[in-house]
Amino acid sequence: MLVMLRSTYEDMSRAAADIVTERLRRKPDMVLGLATGSTPLGLYKELIRRHIQEGLDFSKVTTFNLDEYVGLPPSHDQSYHYFMKESLFDHVNLDPRHTHVPMGMAPDVEAFCEWYEQRIREKGGVDLQILGIGGNGHIAFNEPGSSLGSRTRIKTLTERTIKDNARFFANPEEVPRLAITMGIGTIMEARELIILANGEKKADAVKAAVEGPVTAMMPASIVQMHRKAYFIVDEAAASKLSPEHIEELTGRPYAQPALHH
């Protein structure tokens, strides 16, 4: 795992965009794994800019998203289908036939999950998977305690995640309790991982994931076992890493960044 420490959210997003761009230029028909949430928005904005200004070409790319709420139709403005359309799909030249987001309205969820796994395999597997990290250390909707070998399936969200996500809904009661998510085993099969974290709210999870033991109670810690993972963090998210570790990452004596409360 390579930890990349960047000063700001924008720098973090650009560092991730640089990796995606390089891989895409090398393999125009790459399979890209995508994440939702506020964290990857800067990355998507930068990819859109590069598409428009520099001709970055997504026409042959296939995408697979990590997760979707159960029970929300793609037209719901809090569904991850909707989020992806608004944040990326509508602004680059991805072929809609090549984009995949789990179907939250699937009549047979189990059959759908099997199909999703099979579809990933048919496409040759995910080349590069983008991930965020939850305040509780989840990756996708693999909440603490999820099996480290899990596959795509239905999961119950923890109270913490429901609370974290309530900010996007008019009424907290509307936050779905269930989601379809790629499993940790599914995610670990991607050839490369980029895991992004910014802001002080992620500092505890980043420390535990990067410096703590590998444990199902901190799903993001499994990234330590991946052969090619880039953990890209801004200064606030890195602020709880050990001073020695930060010095190693920056090559500078450690100075506590000024944090805003």
Site of interaction with ligand PGA (CB under 6 A): 37-39, 132-134
Question: Closest distance between ligand PGA and the C-beta of residue 164, in Å?
Answer: 7
Question: Closest distance between ligand PGA and the C-beta of residue 108, in Å?
Answer: 26
Report the C-alpha gap between 198 and 233 in whole angstroms. Answer: 6
Report the C-alpha gap between 144 and 186 in whole angstroms. Answer: 16
Question: Closest distance between ligand PGA and the C-beta of residue 132, in Å?
Answer: 3
Question: Closest distance between ligand PGA and the C-beta of residue 14, in Å?
Answer: 17
**Which residue of the set 67, 127, 164, 235 is catalytic?**
67
Q: Residue 152's Cα: distance from chain center in Å?
A: 15
**Which residue of the set 46, 117, 127, 143 is catalytic?**
143
Q: Which of 92, 90, 114, 86 is nearest to 102 (CA)?
A: 114
| Residue whose beta carbon is closest to ligand PGA | 37
Q: Which of 20, 52, 41, 50 is nearest to 88 (CA)?
A: 41
Between 120 and 140, name the residue whose CB sits nearer to ligand PGA: 140
**Which residue of the set 65, 68, 127, 136 is catalytic?**
136
Between 128 and 196, name the residue whose CB sits nearer to ligand PGA: 196
Between 72 and 133, name the residue whose CB sits nearer to ligand PGA: 133
Residue count (the chain): 261
Between 39 and 146, name the residue whose CB sits nearer to ligand PGA: 39
Instruction: Kindly state the helix (H) or strand (E) to which residue 115 belongs, with its residue range.
Output: helix 109-122
143 as an active site residue: the answer is yes
In the block, which residue shows the tokens 């973090």? 12
138 as an active site residue: the answer is yes
**Which residue of the set 65, 81, 127, 138 is catalytic?**
138
What are the angstrom distances between the C-alpha of 250 and each of 2, 4, 16, 190, 228? 13, 9, 18, 28, 20
Show which residues are catalytic: 67, 136, 138, 143
